[in-house]
Amino acid sequence: MRAMVLLRIVDMKECAAPLELRELPDPQPNENEVRIRVAVCGVCHTELDEIEGRTPPPNLPIVLGHELVGYVDRIGRRVTKLREGDRVGVGWIHSSSGGRDENVSPRFRATGRDVNGGYAEYITVGEQYAYPIPNVFSDVEAAPLLCAGAVGYRALKLTGLKNGEPLGLTGFGGSAHIVLQLVRHQFPDSQVYVFARDAAVREFALQLGAVWAGDTEDRAPQQLHAIIDTTPAWKPVVKAMENLRPGGRLVINAIRKEDVDREWLLKLSYHDHLWMEREIKTVANVTHFDIAEFLPLAAAIPIRPQVTAYRLEDANEALLALKRGAVRGAKVLRI
Ligand SMILES: [Zn+2]
């Protein structure tokens, strides 16, 4: 099969093409697995963290990619629910303990980091970790729901937001633009405030229904009950704490933060940013429950991800565009 493969950890400032197109043996499913012929795979910021070594794959070479949609083309003999031809998706969780806390289990294995992922023609996965894709979505639309959407759904749950309470989103890319649509459905009386560096991205947020959009350094016109941070940096975290009301919660939805501006953490003031029961929480991975709950909800709304498609062999170009930021919506590869 054709696959875009990561051979070594590199700094993308020095190496603009970290992935190489390779021919690999077709994977075969074990008795509990299905094999999926991949149709599309989303491009996620976590791939940059893998390539640059912030969450390095334990073994190289590896096929990246953890937001894939495709068609079951072979099934193991103990597979009971899925059949050949079924359209399914796979997210960041490739396998784990199966329990409600499997996202933080030591048995957690990530698709496209610990095992080969979706920047390839085929992938194998246990049937519990492959999810039927609702018919309302095209392949391309469904891909970003599997990571950006499902992790965003988990982040929103962790905010503890109630209908009517104002929410902030700092960073407005693949995940946040889905969360905004989810909030408008689940919490119709909650106002959403968006913080983003890029003016075009702020305009996009307003079009999707944000009541206000400012820079990541700005003060919102009111204090917020909760904020979800999807930026790769630290300054927006400190600035977000200034926008939280007493008792408010910041949820950081990122697997790794980049170190470029970590000195900003020294500006975190106990009195100004944390006192009055403000708290910071993180999101770790997803469970299969999160993805299985989120997909039908996304179909009922229905969430419409904004997607730009690239060819598999142009994966490096998509990754570079993501690295530069100012991304409107999500990016996917057509395999
Ligand atoms: Zn992801």
Q: What is the tens place of the pLDDT at every residue in 57-92?
A: 999 999 999 999 999 999 999 999 999 999 999 999
Interval between CA 335 and ligand 1 midpoint (Å): 18
Interval between CA 91 and ligand 1 midpoint (Å): 8
Q: Is 269 a residue whose pLDDT tops 80? A: yes
104, 109, 110, 115: CA torsion to nearest 10: 170
Mean pLDDT rounded to a whole number for the chain = 95
Interval between CA 216 and ligand 1 midpoint (Å): 22
Q: Is 328 a residue whose pLDDT tops 80? A: no
Q: What pLDDT is recorded for position 330?
A: 85
Average pLDDT of the segment spanning 171-185 = 92
Q: What pLDDT is recorded for position 305?
A: 85
| Secondary structure (H, E, C), the chain | CEEEEECCCCCCCCCCCCEEEEECCCCCCCCCEEEEEEEEEEECHHHHHHHCCCCCCCCCCEECCCCEEEEEEEECCCCCCCCCCCEEEECCEEECCCCCCHHHCCCCEEECCCECCCCECEEEEEHHHCEECCCCCCHHHHHHHHHHHHHHHHHHHHHCCCCCCCEEEECCCCCHHHHHHHHHHHCCCCCEEEECCCHHHHHHHHHCCCCEEECCCCCCCCCEEEEEECCCCCHHHHHHHHCEEEEEEEEECCCCCCCCCHHHHHHCCHHHHHCCCCEEEECCCCCHHHHHHHHHHHHHCCCCCCEEEEEHHHHHHHHHHHHHCCCCCEEEEEC
Residues 102-149: tens digit of each pLDDT:
999 999 999 999 999 999 999 999 999 999 999 999 999 999 999 989
- The pTM assigned to this predicted structure is 0.92
Cβ–Cβ < 8 Å for 120, 126:
no
CATH topology of domain 149-282: Rossmann fold (3.40.50)
Q: What is the CATH number of domain 2-146+285-334?
A: 3.90.180.10
φ/ψ region of 74 (left if φ > 0, alpha if ψ in -120 to 50, else beta) reads: beta
Q: What pLDDT is recorded for position 191?
A: 98
Interval between CA 144 and ligand 1 midpoint (Å): 8
Domains 2-146+285-334 and 149-282 share a fold: no
Interval between CA 148 and ligand 1 midpoint (Å): 6
Which two three-digit tokens encode residue 267? 């500006």
Q: What pLDDT is recorded for position 257?
A: 87
Q: Where are the domains of the chain?
A: 2-146+285-334, 149-282
Interval between CA 178 and ligand 1 midpoint (Å): 13
Interval between CA 121 and ligand 1 midpoint (Å): 19
Interval between CA 67 and ligand 1 midpoint (Å): 7
Interval between CA 141 and ligand 1 midpoint (Å): 15
Q: Is 326 a residue whose pLDDT tops 80? A: no
